Amino acid sequence: MDARLEAIRDTVLARNPGEGEFHQTVTEVFDSLGPVHDRHPEFLEGAVLERLCEPERQIIFRVPWTDDAGGFQINRGFRVEFNSALGPYKGGLRFHPSVNLGIIKFLGFEQIFKNALTGMPIGGGKGGSDFDPRGRSDAEIMRFCQSFMTELYRHIGEYTDVPAGDIGVGGREIGYLFGQYKRITNRYESGVLTGKGISWGGSLVRPEATGYGTVIFTEEMLKTRGQSFEGQRVVVSGSGNVAINAIAKAQALGATVVACSDSSGYIVDEAGIDVDLLRQIKEIERGRLKDYEARRSAVSYVEGGSVWDIDATVALPCATQNELDGDAAARLVRNGLLAVGEGANMPSTRDAVAVFQQAGILFGPGKAANAGGVATSALEMQQNASRDSWSFAHTEERLTEIMVGIHERCSATADEYGDPGNYVLGANISGFVKVADAMLAQGLI
Ligand code: NDP
Ligand code: 2IT
């Protein structure tokens, strides 16, 4: 790392002890930015990096609610409003027992650059709770969401901060959150949340957008080597919103997705995953992946273990951070891997990224490859602002244009900075320069 940046990075790490995931993303981004500071001394003079690493606002609050047995439950809620240089804070809410401030800050920091890359007018933020939705009834989820919004509502708004979904937060939760916001404020403010239902202000394609976008970005990478998804053998991790839609799109483009996972285990279906069955089990029944095995022939379910033990030519990690380590990466590379498209945020460890890059594997980092979700959220905001709703075909076309544009921008920036094909460098520099210019233009705030 450039020595000037390393000193700033060390201060950031020391000021934010114990936030491992935040340290990891700051280090990764700083690693890319040395050459930018040679060309743009004004960024150092303007303390852009020091400002960028300090969230504009961090909100931590108590979320009390009652479970179905009448017991009192207390969770912790977070919203980190990281950077508003390009627009209102924008980013998802994650409900998962592992959530803590360091995880929300890593996600919020990534979101700043991702949102800049989309070309849409959105700043970066993230939030969530250590609430565990697993095994909770609909009524419990609703009471939790209502309590969460009873605090959050005062901090958000269509021009201020616009949350959406992430792990553990999908259409159901956004519905309960929106209902409570409307009730407290007495305003039908569609643009305050994205990922809404289609009949009440949501956008077509938003549910599919992250997974579809990841595949579109990966297809663009494959094209640079004269390849496509046609005939590829694909392994996907996770079986949630991003994973399911990535599987659907990869198979629509002619690939065979042979495996996917949840946090308990993984399935191998050599004939190609039956997406309708997967949706039925995971989205409608809210069941476990294990249930898939009994309902389709020639499928094996492996309890525990790693889905990365299955050979693939294309790997799409779509579950969570640091789920693919250096050993898994090396094994995939030895067995014929061509490309990795990150549907999740920071799913590959630093070691894994190094292995992929040294082996010349096409590697699309999350902040570029999974930006289709938030980009389509911005399209939802556009539709809300104009009180319009677009067709599926039109919205998908916009998503495709955006993903192709992000690929081009990352690729052109990597070329410009002398490291062709390095999408990590391209994404970090391209996102950073846009935000840094806007921050300087807006003065010391
Ligand atoms: P979902 O909650 O719909 O699905 C998450 C999936 O990942 C589930 O299969 C879950 O398994 C698995 N998973 C979650 N945590 C872990 C863990 N600690 N270990 C192993 N498996 C785990 O979330 P999404 O699909 O929305 O999100 C997946 C990833 O994509 C996240 O990194 C998210 O930040 C990122 N992302 C999401 C976007 C969106 O629009 N939703 C946009 C851009 C990125 P189980 O059911 O067993 O918990
Ligand atoms: O990580 C992400 O980009 C998301 N969870 C989606 C955020 C959004 O505002 O749609």
pLDDT value for 417: 97
pLDDT value for 424: 98
Question: Distance (Å, rounded) from C-alpha 428 to C-alpha 417?
Answer: 12
Q: Which residues face 126 on adjacent strands? A: 80
Which are the catalytic amino acids? 126
Helix (H, G, I), strand (E, B) or coil at 131: coil
Closest atom of ligand 2 to 377 CA is 10
Q: Is the CB of 240 under 6 A from ligand 1?
A: yes
| Full set of structural domains in the chain with CATH | 56-188 (3.40.50.10860), 207-369 (3.40.50.720)
Helix (H, G, I), strand (E, B) or coil at 165: strand
Q: Is the CB of 242 under 6 A from ligand 1?
A: yes
Claim: this prediction has a pTM higher than 0.95: yes
* Helical segments of 119-260, H only: 138-152, 171-185, 206-223, 241-252
pLDDT value for 296: 95
Closest atom of ligand 1 to 169 CA is 2
Q: Is the CB of 213 under 6 A from ligand 1?
A: no
Q: What is the mean pLDDT of residues 400-419?
A: 98
Q: What is the chain's mean pLDDT, rounded? A: 98
How, if at all, do strands 256-261 and 339-341 pair?
A: unpaired
pLDDT value for 168: 98
Residue pair 430/117 in contact (Cβ under 8 Å)? The answer is yes
Give pLDDT tens digits for 17-57.
Answer: 999 999 999 999 999 999 999 999 999 999 999 999 999 99
For residue 100, the 8-state DSSP code is: -
How, if at all, do strands 362-364 and 89-95 pair?
A: unpaired
Tell me the percentage of the chain whose pLDDT exceeds 70: 100
Question: Distance (Å, rounded) from C-alpha 333 to C-alpha 291?
Answer: 31
Closest atom of ligand 2 to 371 CA is 3
Which of 241, 282, 324 best tests ligand 1's pocket when mutated (most atoms within 8 Å of CB)? 241
Q: Is the CB of 203 under 6 A from ligand 2?
A: no
Q: Is the CB of 377 under 6 A from ligand 2?
A: yes
Q: What is the mean pLDDT of residues 55-84?
A: 98
Binning pLDDT at 50, 70 and 90, where does residue 94 land? very high
pLDDT value for 187: 97
Tell me the percentage of the chain whose pLDDT exceeds 90: 100
Residue 318 identity? C
Sequence-ordered list of residues with C-beta below 8 angstroms from that of 88, at least 6 positions apart, any chain: 122, 123, 157, 158, 159, 160, 161, 162
Measuring CA to CA, which residue among 6, 54, 165 is closest to residue 439? 54
Give pLDDT tens digits for 181-190.
Answer: 999 999 999 9
In this structure, which residue's CA is closest to atom 13 in ligand 1?
Answer: 319
Phi, psi of 340 (to 5 degrees): -130, 130
Residue pair 244/278 in contact (Cβ under 8 Å)? The answer is yes
Which of 377, 382, 383 best tests ligand 2's pocket when mutated (most atoms within 8 Å of CB)? 377
In this structure, which residue's CA is closest to atom 10 in ligand 2?
Answer: 374
Give pLDDT tens digits for 193-208.
Answer: 999 999 999 999 999 9
Which of 242, 286, 322, 406 best tests ligand 1's pocket when mutated (most atoms within 8 Å of CB)? 242
pLDDT value for 137: 97
Closest atom of ligand 2 to 163 CA is 9
